Amino acid sequence: MTRFHDFNLKLLVIEELMYQAGTLSPVYDLNARMAERGITDPASYVLENGLHEEVLPESREYFEALEIPAELLATVEELCFDAGADVFRH
């Protein structure tokens, strides 16, 4: 298992492998997770509960626990530091 000392760096690697290259699966989909809890409009839920500047605990827990195989990590050649990355939306 690959260990990351910086959670934000791990998120960028996840962005590349899961959301861009599609090689890390299953793809984490926050909207689907919230729908399972009966939340049909995640954006409104986040705004109404003042969570727009928070990392949702269930997302953080998922990404922190996610194991990235060394073979996949070795395929990453470039990372993009973009606040609009899919991983940050989830």
Sign of CA dihedral 84, 26, 14, 10: positive
Average pLDDT for 68-77: 95
pLDDT in tens, 27-71: 999 889 989 989 999 889 888 998 878 878 889 999 999 999 999
Q: Give this prediction's pTM.
A: 0.85
Q: Could you tell me which residue, 52 or 13, shows the higher pLDDT? A: 13
Task: Name, in order, each residue with C-beta under 8 angstroms of 65's C-beta and a sequence gap of 6 or more.
Answer: none
DSSP state of 15: I
Burial of 73 (0-12, 13-18, 19+ CB in 10 A): middle
Q: Is the pLDDT of residue 1 over 70?
A: no
* Other beta carbons less than 10 A from residue 13's beta carbon: 20
Q: How confident is the model at residue 12 (pLDDT cuts 50, 70, 90)?
A: very high
Q: Residue 35 has what pLDDT?
A: 93
